[in-house]
Amino acid sequence: MMLLGSLPQLSAFQFNIVDNMFSLTVATMGAAAIFFFAARSLVAPKYRPALMVSGLVVAIACYHYFMIRLSWQSAFGYADGSFSPTGKGFNDFYRYADWILTVPLLMVELIAVMGLAKEVARPMLTKLVIAAALMIGLGYPGEITQDWTTLMVWGMLSTLPFLYILFILWVELGKSLATQPPSVRSLVSFARLLIVATWMFYPIAYGIRGDSLPGAIPGLIPEKSGLGVVGTQIGYAIADITAKAGFGLLIFFIARAKTESMTDEERAEQMKAAAVMA
């Protein structure tokens, strides 16, 4: 929960662009959830858990963006042309609650679709989940602080597990490329790039806010201009849409390509599985 009075006054444009971005995100996540659950029947049984987990990730995000929007609307009050803080504060915790639940699931989703052997997948997943928890837990104190130095320190600490996760994914996905059918290879290497590209939004969005805090090194954003808050919220929303709905869509394409490139033996085995699990 942001401290009282920590929110700047916003212009009608600034308030509404964030409010509308939140609504757009709710709609996107909700639609993605329906699609991923329905699309399970379009892939072989062994890839269905990956689609289910994709569906869970965006369903959880849909709930949190709905609550984030309500909190945004209660945090500001309209009066003669601009929006001033009501004193109720804006609840940043929704975002961190969302990440605590969805980031580990994103790892599960990726590993599920790669079809790695259990003895490889298990320890890798454990490392990734612990790193994700550290990344999110260390980021939160910086998110709710009103002090530039505190934000920087926690931001830096949180960046270490962040880079560790990206490193592991980059290396492990790279290794697995060889074992993937040709039609899937390009999709998997695109998935690698997408993860790195979209995750880069998060530290940027995290930092932008700091630029408008008292004591910040004067940067692009004038203090209390509201651009820090607006930039952070829009940045997180774009990053979440790409990293959850966009990434889930890529997982679906990978599952689909793998289903189509199955050997006859694999196909026969999957038919048996489908017969029991239909």
By CB under 8 A, is residue 117 in contact with a second copy? no
DSSP letter (8 states) at residue 45: G
- Least Å distance between CB 179 and a second copy? 21
Told to check if 126 binds a second copy by CB under 8 A, we report: no
Instruction: Give strand ranges (E) for the chain.
Output: 10-11, 76-79, 82-85
- Measured from the Cβ of residue 223, the count of other Cβ atoms closer than 10 Å reads 15
Contact yes or no for 9/223 (Cβ under 8 A): no
The 8 Å CB, 24+ separation contacts for 205-208 are: 205/231, 205/232, 205/234, 205/235, 205/236, 205/239, 206/139, 206/142, 206/143, 206/155, 206/158, 206/232, 207/151, 207/155, 208/232, 208/235
Residues facing 11 on adjacent strands: 82
The pattern of x and - marking residues 37 through 76 that bind a second copy according to CB under 8 A reads: xxxxxxxxx--xx--x--xx--xx--xx--x---------
275 contacts a second copy (rule: CB under 8 A): yes
Provide the mask over 18-37, with x wherever binding to a second copy is found by CB under 8 A and - wherever it is not: --x--xx-xxx-xx--xx-x
> What 8-state DSSP symbol labels residue 154?
H
Q: In the complex, what is the shortest distance from the CB of residue 17 to a second copy, in angstroms, rounded to a whole number?
A: 9
Nearest distance from C-beta of residue 226 to a second copy, angstroms: 16
Site for a second copy contains 259 (CB under 8 A): yes
Binding site for a second copy (CB under 8 A): 1, 4, 12, 16, 20, 23-24, 26-28, 30-31, 34-35, 37-45, 48-49, 52, 55-56, 59-60, 63-64, 67, 78, 81, 87-88, 91, 93-94, 97-98, 100-101, 259, 262, 267, 270-272, 274-278
